Amino acid sequence: MPKKTKKTTTDTATLTAKDKKTLGSIRGLADDVVQFAERGRAPYVDVPSRSLSNVRFNQSKRIIEMGTGKNRRELFNLAQARSYMQTLLVGTGCKQLIEQGKTTSIRGLFYLLKHTIEGTSEETFDAQDECDPVIEDMEVTLDAMREELHLYAKNAGAMVGPITLVDSGDQIDCSRMGSGGYSIPSIVEPEIVEFKKHTAKFVLHVEKDTVWRRFNEDKFWRKHNCILTHGGGQPPRGVRRMLHRLHYELKLPVYCLLDNDPWGYYIYSVIKQGSINLAYESRRMAIPEARFLGLRSDDYKRCQLSPSVQIRLNEQDTKRAGQIAQYAWFAHKKPWQKEIELMIENGFKLEVEALISKDISYVTEEYVPARLKEGNFLD
């Protein structure tokens, strides 16, 4: 690994089995560099390609997966030397975090690694947007989640409901978290967040915190014995991983209440099949059994909504809807094709908040309970 000029702490921590595995992968990468040098060969690193051309939809698993394509980074290739150095440097930083039993944000890692290379005026990283893709490259190269590299992002989601868990040693009753709920952390792996007991029958995931607050204030989760979550729009990795664990470990169905627009459809596809950008993590985040509860394109007439709640589709909306309709996981599903076609035919989109025009608690007291009773979901 490249030598750093910054002073580092040498304290070591007790490693978990997962830490040892990840650390072994990082050391294996470093050992390869040493072996290349000892044999007089040009050092290189093969990084799995994260391009669209290397992504496919696995029909049997119903998730997005990466293919086998790789990109080679060579030390003695002038066009690749910088990215090669940065790749090993990120590995060095993550090794340091794991050995010390500490975590940091992706922003923190950027500053930990940023310095002027000795004897030059060259910076290791000019900006964070140069560092972030290398972190993702390290994930796919080591087959380790960012969280396993002891890296986290800001919290952007909440949860409330009849479940008790232990977070970093602290027991938390998610039915007693007040108006703000339990803030879902970026790292929710079992060694950090442990599920203790619950009585929930399902998980209701809503798109935005504004809608989530309506459900929480109306104590929907208590009346219907469920866990209520939100992801602040596009759910971050911590929220998606939490939903994945709730579904697979606690065997809870996941229902999604999202806006009736291309963005809402896309959010659902990410929760259900995974995302193209994070195809390498689909097996630990995607939930093929998730169901789309609403909002639906026929709800405007079904719920007798006012014309004033319509938001006209623009050219970009229509184009995006067409792209989503062609996704491999939607292309052959007639209900979804009908749903998207009807939205385009309507010429407008709807936010979940539009239901407030009926009554402040219409969404919690009538709309969602009726959908749940009917079992009328989109797959």
pLDDT in tens, 335-349: 999 999 999 999 999
Alpha-carbon distance values, 317 to 43, 234, 286, 351 (Å): 47, 17, 25, 14
Same domain, 96 and 70: yes
300-348: pLDDT as tens digits: 999 899 899 889 999 998 999 988 888 888 888 899 999 999 999 999 9
| Catalytic residue list | 111
Supply angle C-alpha 224, 227, 228, rounded to 5.
Answer: 95
In a domain, 379, yes or no: no
Same domain, 162 and 147: no
Same domain, 193 and 144: no
What gap in Å lies between CA 139 and CA 278, rounded to an integer? 10
Give the predicted TM-score (pTM) of the model.
Answer: 0.83
Alpha-carbon distance values, 35 to 82, 89, 376 (Å): 20, 18, 59
Same domain, 144 and 163: no
* pLDDT score at 175: 92
User: For tokens 């340091």, what's the residue?
Assistant: 96
Same domain, 215 and 358: yes
Residue 184 and residue 230 in contact, taking contact as beta carbons nearer than 8 Å? no
In a domain, 5, yes or no: no
Where residue 25 sits, what CATH number does that domain have?
Answer: 1.10.10.10
- Looking at the structure of the chain, the number of domains it has is 2
Q: Tell whether omega for the bond before 305 is within 30 degrees of 0, i.e. cis.
A: no
In a domain, 2, yes or no: no
Residue-averaged pLDDT of the chain: 88
Report which of residues 43 and 9 the model is more confident about: 43
Residue 115 and residue 6 in contact, taking contact as beta carbons nearer than 8 Å? yes
Same domain, 193 and 316: yes
Same domain, 141 and 174: no
In a domain, 12, yes or no: no
Work out the end-to-end distance of the chain between its first and last CA atoms, rounded to an integer number of angstroms: 47
Same domain, 133 and 163: no
235-267: pLDDT as tens digits: 988 899 999 999 999 999 999 999 999 999 999
